[in-house]
């Protein structure tokens, strides 16, 4: 189990570093920037070839994730980049961002917390509201892994038309104790960042406030604060975020919801090719198009 968790989350971290509208021409991508608390956040906006403003999806990465994704086997695309292209081909725009301290965005990762990443997501929503080529009144949010609870928090603040969680973290203490160890997870909340070597050998400076927030976060309880349409997608073979949390999210949610499961790991079987991810992207697209009208 431990080796499987290490392999799955290691790949997740590196991968992170149909119905509805008629298929359109090839999508366009551009780099965008906005500021949150004086620090620059960088993102990729993917637009369909359409004259009218398009419905749009904000895509939020998980722990250590950013737009510099490693490609899925047999492709030149990371999971979010591939999803963005496929959705754009069917008329849905998207924005995926590097949180402050990650990727090309400003700041230090050691200063990142659940609160700062939530603020980055809310900042992205505000940017989308001012962008005339998208229709922010038809807005969805997708969160993968730790991006799941971040997406839920952003949704509670911004009230999107749809929320989608891909293998979203439901038990942060259990998940991150498996990655950091119990000593790190029990660290005092005040003091210098902790130098942690991830199980796959990557050194990371982790802020103590992030650890403190992971200890108190309860994504299952928090989802009750969002009453809009919810899709929970969970892999039966995920050893990073175990499948038992998905039905608890569904049970805690007060609105319309769907549960989608498949025989996939935390990174959608990306080591074997794009087939499983494509099925997830198609199911998510169908859900989005139902609600982003």
Residue range 136-145, pLDDT digits in tens: 999 999 999 9
Tell me the per-residue pLDDT of 256-282, one tens digit each, with 9 for 90 and over: 999 999 999 999 999 999 999 999 999
Average confidence (pLDDT) over 101-116: 98
The Cα–Cα gap between 214 and 173 comes to: 6
Distance from C-alpha of 197 to C-alpha of 205, rounded to nearest angstrom: 9
Q: Token digits for 121? A: 């997501």
Per DSSP, the residues of 90-120 read: TT-EEEEEEPTTSTTSSS-GGG--HHHHHHH
Cα–chain center distance at 130: 22
Strand partners, 54: 134
* Per-residue pLDDT, 116: 98
Check residues 28 and 293 and name the one with the higher pLDDT. Answer: 28
* Band of residue 111 on the pLDDT scale cut at 50, 70, 90: very high
The pLDDT-based confidence of 6 (bands split at 50, 70, 90) is very low
User: Residue 61: which of 139, 123, 149, 127 has the closest Cα?
Assistant: 149
pLDDT of residue 119: 98
Q: pLDDT-derived band of residue 15, with 50, 70 and 90 as boundaries?
A: low
| Model pTM score | 0.92
> Residue 87 belongs to a domain with what CATH number?
3.40.50.1820
Check if the beta carbon of residue 246 is closer than 8 Å to that of residue 232: yes
Q: What pLDDT does 246 receive?
A: 98
**Of 18 and 243, the one with more pLDDT:** 243
Q: What is the pLDDT of residue 51?
A: 83
- Domain extent, residue 212, equals 2-291
**Per-residue pLDDT tens over the stretch 236-256:** 999 999 999 999 999 999 999
Give the span between the Cα atoms of 214 and 20, in whole angstroms: 38
Please count the CA atoms within 13 angstroms of the CA of 6 that sit on its side-chain side. 11
Confidence class of residue 2 from pLDDT cuts 50, 70 and 90? Answer: very low
Cα-trace Rg, the chain: 18
Average pLDDT, the chain: 93
SS3 category, 246: helix
Residues in the chain, overall count: 293
- The Cα–Cα gap between 157 and 150 comes to 11
Output DSSP code: residue 126: H
| Counts of helices then strands in the chain (DSSP H, E) | 10, 10
Distance (Å, whole) CA 117 – CA 139? 19
Adjacent-strand bridge partners of 156: none
* Total domains in the fold of the chain: 1
Q: What is the pLDDT of residue 150?
A: 98
pLDDT at 180 over 70: yes
pLDDT band at 293 (very low <50, low <70, confident <90, very high): confident
CA 222/CA 2 separation, integer angstroms:
28
Calpha distance 66→106 (Å, rounded): 13
């Amino acid at each position: 189990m431990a080796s499987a968790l290490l392999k799955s989350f290691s790949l997740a971290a590196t991968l992170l570093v149909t119905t509805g509208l008629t298929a359109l021409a090839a999508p366009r991508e551009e780099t965008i920037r906005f500021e949150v608390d004086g620090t620059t956040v960088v993102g990729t906006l993917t637009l369909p070839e359409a004259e009218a403003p398009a419905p749009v999806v904000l895509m939020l990465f998980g722990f250590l994730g950013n737009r510099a994704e490693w490609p899925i086997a047999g492709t030149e695309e990371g999971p979010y980049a591939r999803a963005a292209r496929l959705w754009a081909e069917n008329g849905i725009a998207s924005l995926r961002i590097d949180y402050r301290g990650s990727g090309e965005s400003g700041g230090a990762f050691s200063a990142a917390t659940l609160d700062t990443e939530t603020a980055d997501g809310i900042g992205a929503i505000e940017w989308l509201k001012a962008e005339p080529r998208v229709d922010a009144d038809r807005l969805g949010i997708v969160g993968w892994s730790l991006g799941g609870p971040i997406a839920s928090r952003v949704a509670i603040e911004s009230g999107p038309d749809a929320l989608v969680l891909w293998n979203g973290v439901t038990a942060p203490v259990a998940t991150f104790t498996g990655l950091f160890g119990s000593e790190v997870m029990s660290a005092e909340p005040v003091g210098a960042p902790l130098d942690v070597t991830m199980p796959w050998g990557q050194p990371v400076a982790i802020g103590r406030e992030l650890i403190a927030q992971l200890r108190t976060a309860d994504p299952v309880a928090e989802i009750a604060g969002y009453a809009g349409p919810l899709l929970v997608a969970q892999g039966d073979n995920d050893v990073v975020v175990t499948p038992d949390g998905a039905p608890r999210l569904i049970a805690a949610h007060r609105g319309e919801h769907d549960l989608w499961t498949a025989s996939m790991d935390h990174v959608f079987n990306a080591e074997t090719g794009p087939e499983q991810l494509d099925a997830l992207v198609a199911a998510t697209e169908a859900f989005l198009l139902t609600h982003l009208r």
